[in-house]
């Protein structure tokens, strides 16, 4: 049985300073590969904070990204993926003929990034790179690996820094694990 989201007390896994440092280093790694006018597509809702911090850090690396968001879901209100990725709302309109950096909060099963990357390519993305703040390699179900990864973590449920549990805990400036 999943814990009650109203009574959960997350334990700090990565504090705000660790996250900021890693986002800065990711921007340096990404800037060495992507073109200056890359289109960043952030996946909502979980990656909104990470995407915002990443595009600001990319600006510091002289990258001038366009920014788009796409809402997808495979979890709903639960703690386990349904195994089906659903697009909620419309698709980004400006990927046709563009170089794209796809940004997600967590790569676990690999389904969301694989599905979304393929969809963006089908909609005309010229080249595509992917970036995940967190990676849970032990949960991989699909042969897809993000090109850039912030932190590799064990199979724990996490919240904070945009990541939720039943629409709670996104506001935290750090990432915590829920036990």
Among the listed residues 153, 73, 158, the one whose alpha carbon sits nearest the alpha carbon of residue 116: 73
Do the beta carbons of residue 64 and residue 37 sit within 8 Å? yes
Do the beta carbons of residue 168 and residue 6 sit within 8 Å? yes
Of 99, 105, 108, 164, the catalytic one is 108
* Residues contacting residue 39 through CB under 8 Å, at least 6 positions apart: 65, 66, 67, 68, 92, 94, 95, 98, 99, 100, 101
Instruction: Please tell me the distance from the alpha carbon of residue 138 to that of residue 21, in angstroms, as a whole number.
Output: 25
Radius of gyration of the chain (CA): 16
Q: Is 155 one of the annotated active-site residues of the chain?
A: no
Query: Active-site residue numbers?
Result: 108
């Amino acid at each position: 049985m999943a814990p009650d989201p109203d009574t959960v007390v997350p334990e700090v896994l990565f504090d705000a300073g660790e996250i900021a440092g890693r986002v800065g280093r990711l921007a340096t790694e990404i800037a060495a590969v992507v073109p200056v006018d890359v289109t960043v597509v952030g996946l909502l809702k979980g990656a909104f904070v990470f995407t915002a911090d990443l595009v600001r850090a990319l600006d510091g690396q002289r990258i001038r990204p366009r920014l788009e968001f796409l809402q997808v879901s495979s979890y709903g209100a639960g703690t386990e993926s349904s195994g089906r990725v659903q697009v909620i709302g419309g698709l980004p309109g400006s990927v046709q003929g563009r170089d794209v950096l796809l940004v997600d909060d967590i790569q676990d099963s690999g389904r969301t990034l694989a599905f979304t990357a393929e969809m963006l390519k089908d909609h005309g993305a010229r080249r595509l790179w992917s970036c995940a703040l967190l990676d849970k390699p032990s949960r991989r179900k699909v042969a897809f690996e993000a090109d850039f990864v912030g932190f590799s973590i064990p199979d724990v449920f996490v919240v904070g820094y945009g990541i939720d549990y039943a629409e709670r805990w996104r506001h935290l400036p750090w990432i915590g694990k829920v036990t």
